[in-house]
């Protein structure tokens, strides 16, 4: 699926208002997803909340899988492990998901979570490269894929 197709799928996948996530890039193994951060994503101490980062990681993992198998909304998270490394600033958060394994029933994705402190896009040589000093968290996410999905 293309970036535009993934964005349209994401925008229509859930009831209620559109999500704030923005699909920026994807290829056969990677996906870059941005969350424009505002005060509603913060927690005391002037940082982005853990649940916000977990949602971003989960969504990036889901979309990098969907990009490969097609618009299968019923793929579900079976495991999400996250390590927090440093306090994220109240700036846009960016997730870069890397597909590690895509099987017929399970998929595993590594997700790097970054604060876009103005160096991300400008200092990157490719759409999935971000300077390592802005890495704020890392997640590994496993998804269960329904057996009757179109690509299965």
- Domain-embedded: residue 150: no
CATH number of residue 28's parent domain: 3.10.129.10
Q: For residue 47, what are the domain limits? A: 3-144
- Domain-embedded: residue 151: no
- Domain-embedded: residue 68: yes
Per residue in 11-68, pLDDT (tens digit) is: 888 777 777 899 999 999 999 999 998 877 878 787 889 999 999 999 999 999 999 9
- Domain-embedded: residue 152: no
Please tell me the total number of residues recorded for the chain in this structure.
152
User: Structure pTM?
Assistant: 0.86
- Domain-embedded: residue 60: yes
On average, the pLDDT of the chain sits at: 85
Domain total of the chain: 1
The secondary structure element, H or E, covering residue 137 is: strand 135-144
Residues 127 and 24: beta-carbon distance below 8 Å: yes
Beta-bridge mates of residue 20:
none
**134 — phi, psi (to 5°)?**
-105, 5
């Amino acid at each position: 699926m293309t970036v535009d197709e993934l964005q349209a799928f994401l925008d229509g996948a859930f009831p209620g208002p559109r999500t704030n996530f923005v699909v920026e890039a994807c290829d056969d193994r990677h996906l870059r997803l941005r969350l424009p951060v505002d005060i509603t994503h913060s927690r005391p101490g002037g940082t982005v909340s853990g649940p916000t980062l977990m949602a971003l990681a989960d969504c990036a993992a889901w979309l990098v899988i969907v990009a490969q198998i097609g618009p299968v909304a019923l793929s579900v998270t079976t495991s999400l492990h996250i390590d927090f490394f440093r306090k994220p600033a109240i700036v846009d958060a960016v997730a870069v998901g890397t597909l590690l394994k895509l099987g017929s029933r399970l998929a595993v994705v590594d997700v790097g979570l970054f604060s876009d402190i103005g160096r991300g896009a400008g200092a990157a040589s490719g759409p999935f490269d971000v300077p390592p000093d802005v890495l704020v968290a890392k997640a590994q996410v496993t998804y269960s894929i329904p057996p009757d999905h179109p690509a299965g």
